[in-house]
Amino acid sequence: MQQEESLNVFDQPLIPCAMDPLTGFFRDGCCNTCIEDYGSHTVCVVVNREFLEFSRFRGNDLSTPNPEFGFPGLRPGDHWCLCAARWKEAFDMGMAPKLVLQATHKRALDVIPMDILKQFASDLN
């Protein structure tokens, strides 16, 4: 797997999203991606209870631990590299969580317009 260039939505070096729990398609703490990352795990979100319930309802339970895959389960406040399409789906249904733009890979812009991402940024002043 060849990783794409690690640049965020500002075309600057991608900062880590989360090391605990360890996130990312490559489990390197960053929302890096590659051609094999069909889900485009490129959006660094700050999960909240409402989003975790929404995701579980949509068939992706992110709060239940899955130890055989080294997944501790997410809790409100955790950061996680989320699939861009899942974030967009949550946005369309009024359930999108906040995100960290500096840790969101520029590939997310293929799915979500920058003006929408900025509305949910936790790292803009």
Average pLDDT, integer, range 25-33: 95
Write the pLDDT tens digit of every residue in 37-48.
Answer: 999 999 999 999
Strands 79-83 and 41-46: what pairing?
antiparallel
pLDDT grade, residue 65 (50/70/90)? very high
What is the SS3 assignment for 114?
A: helix
Q: Locate tokens 């409100």: which residue?
A: 76
pTM of the model: 0.94
Q: Are 84 and 96 in contact (CB under 8 A)?
A: no
Average pLDDT over the chain, rounded to whole? 94
Going from N- to C-terminal start, the domains of the chain cover 1-125
Sign of the torsion angle spanned by Cα atoms 49, 38, 70, 22? negative
In CATH, the architecture of 1-125 is 2-Layer Sandwich (3.30)
